[in-house]
Chains A and B, each alone.
Chain A
Amino acid sequence: MKNVRNFWILSGIIVLFNIVAYVFIEGNTLLIISDLLPVVCAALSIMGVASVINYLKTFDITKKVWMLMLIGLVFNFVAELLYFVFEVIQQRNMDDFFPSYADPFWIIGFVFFFVSIISMIIYYLRSGMPHGKTQIHLIIIFSTIVLAILVTNFLLLPIARDPETSLAQKAVSLFYPITDISVVCLSLIVMYIVNQFSNRLFSMPWILIALGYLFFTASDLIYSYLSWQDDYSAGNFFDIGWNAGYLLIGLAGIYQFNLMKKIKEER
């Protein structure tokens, strides 16, 4: 699956199927679909990113950045698989099982994503390539601070003050939104930097990665809010954000692979 068009078509089919399932299917079947699709999407994203790593022969910063992303995806894949096993195979009630054994894998996976994206930004800023307008960077940072204040006020503080929530639940519920906000900031900076390239083929991988992280963030924030309210159950419509995030990161890998192949062939 190294063809961009085929990956787009497959991603479209998966997202469409996901929407149709949420609208028309209920009960145990929806639960199975809802828990199985993230496993499939994470596996597809691993395939996409692995194609880049396989192509890069030299172990340098580029390979490191993609490798960190791949490790993050593998941890997420394991987490999705564990969640599927607990909820569908073992039929555990995940509302009473939070944080689950899957959460440490998501948390470790996130650390790898974070290091990957920050390594990319630091390397880019040091490379001597144009950084873009400082005002735009400041606007992004300012917007993130505003978002952080809103999230703190409406989500973090209420969770932290909730006497019915255990310490472990609080820690995990707070981890996702806090770290997600930092990733939003980094993703927006990446999007701004690569948007300066007028050649879309060049900027597409990083735009897709940034979009993928933004989808993860949106779903994580809603998840944290709903699970704190005890309103989360598998088969929520916003779960689609995680699936779309995986597929976009997988697509980024396919774009990067094709870009490098195209340049090599043009030599």
Chain B
Amino acid sequence: MNAYDNILTQKIYDLIAPYLGDLMAKGAIRSQCKKIGIDDNKIQRHDLPALAQNMAKAMNLFVGAENAEMLAARIKTL
């Protein structure tokens, strides 16, 4: 079952949920979208670079810069 109607949001969720879990993944998407001033269900392709960068910063502390950058690269190319 999909957590989001928006395909890009769902893809980001699918990417980070295995690491963060359902609750934190949704919370992270919501707060990172809010940070760049967009609705989490209205993510568009041009939002991805900024969103990816913020997501990488947030994940850095837990997985290290190298892995966080890898995650950002995957979000950017969704």
Contact = CB atoms under 8 A, between A and B. Distances in A.
A128 B61 CA distance: 12
Q: How large is the interface on B (under 10, 10 to 19, 20 to 34, 35 or more residues)?
A: 20 to 34
B35 interface: yes
B27 A123 contact: no
B64 A130 contact: no
Contacts of A56: 64-66
Interface string B41-72: 00000000000001001101111111100100
A182 B29 CA distance: 32
Interface residues of A, number: 25
A60 B66 CA distance: 11
Interface string A211-249: 000000000000000000000000000000000000000
Given A62-B60, A127-B58, A128-B54, A57 B66 contact: yes
B19 A263 contact: yes
Given A196-B24, A197-B24, A202 B61 contact: no
B60 to A, nearest CB: 6
Nearest to B26: A130
Contacts of B67: 260, 263-264
Interface in A45-72: 55-58, 60-62, 65
Given A56-B64, A127-B60, A202-B19, 16 more contacts: A58-B64, A58-B65, A60-B65, A127-B61, A128-B35, A128-B57, A129-B31, A130-B30, A197-B21, A198-B21, A199-B18, A199-B19, A202-B20, A259-B63, A260-B66, A263-B70
Interface of B: 18-24, 27-28, 30-32, 34-35, 54, 57-58, 60-67, 70
10 contacts: A56-B66, A57-B66, A127-B57, A127-B60, A128-B58, A129-B31, A196-B21, A197-B20, A199-B19, A264-B70
Smallest CB-CB A-B distances: 3 pairs: A198-B21, A130-B27, A58-B65
